[in-house]
Structures are given as C-alpha cells and as structure tokens.
Amino acid sequence: MSKKKNLYLGKAGQFVVMSEFLVKGWNVAIPEVDIGDDIFVVKDQNGDFSRIQVKTATGQKKKYDFSAQFNIPLLQLEKVFTPDLTYVLTVRFDGKWGCFLVVKRDTLLEEYQLFNIGSTQGTQLILYVKFDGKGVSCGNRNWTRFYNNFDDWEEIDH
C-alpha cells in the first residue's frame, strides 16, 4: 500500500473511532497539533477527559478469519501521560469497519514487557493481531477482553 493511501486509511480510521465516541454521547475533538494524541474525548457534563491514539490497519484474509498488523512507537508507549493515553486499534476488513481493540497505554506496555507480545523493528513495536471465530489474540495472549471494549466510556443519555 502506498504511503499516501496509508494516510487516507489512517484518517478514515480516526474518524470511525470518533464516530463511536459520538454515538455514545461523548464529545470529540482533534488537536490542532498532533504530538501523539489523535483525539480528545470529553464528557461535557463534568469535563472527564481522555486522550486517544488511533492506529488503523487493513485486515488480511487468513484461513482462520483475518489478521492485522499495527505499528506502535516505543517512545510513545513508554511515556507516562496525565491523563494516560488509550490506544484504539481499528481494522477495516472486507470493506467494513467494526473491529476496535481498546487498550490503555500502561496495559499495552505491560503486555509487551511481561508477555513479550509483538516484536521491535527500530523504534516501533510491531503487533500482529489475529481475529477468528473464537476471539482475538496477539502473540500467545488472548486479547478478546479488548475487543470493542468501550466500557470506560458509558453511553450518555442527553
């Protein structure tokens, strides 16, 4: 895939993640300067604020269903934020969106450091995620708990 096409796919992934938060009743904003946050998510009633980094991949057909690869900058993964960063890894497969892996930065760092998920290439952590009828896995780890897990952002009735 060309670099330009990747930019379009990445922006589309960002917008689809934004729409998920909007449907749940949360306000969203794109920072004017991207220094690691793709989306700010705000609960208007009380100002609860979340920082979101979106990573987008195209799913690749496999015999078990499909897989996707995500590249995470190690410096970003290792940096502590306040409020902390949450990654939303989204996949476009077979012409559709709908797969979201919602993983807090510290949890993803723990998965990498303690359970050796992914591999490093230069300054990037490369994650290979497998989706099948039984769930989601990354390396030898079950990641089904992250699948479409927007539990920290309950639906708001306006």
Assign residue 135 a region (left: φ > 0; alpha: ψ between -120 and 50; beta: otherwise). Answer: left
Residue-wise pLDDT for 123-158, tens only, equals 999 999 999 988 999 999 999 999 999 999 999 988
Q: State the pLDDT at residue 34.
A: 80
Separation between Cα atoms, residue 134 and residue 142, nearest integer Å = 10
Residue-wise pLDDT for 26-65, tens only, equals 999 999 988 889 999 999 999 999 999 999 999 988 887 8
Please indicate, yes or no, whether the overall pTM of this predicted structure exceeds 0.85. yes
Separation between Cα atoms, residue 136 and residue 141, nearest integer Å = 9
Domains of the chain: 3-146 (3.40.1350)
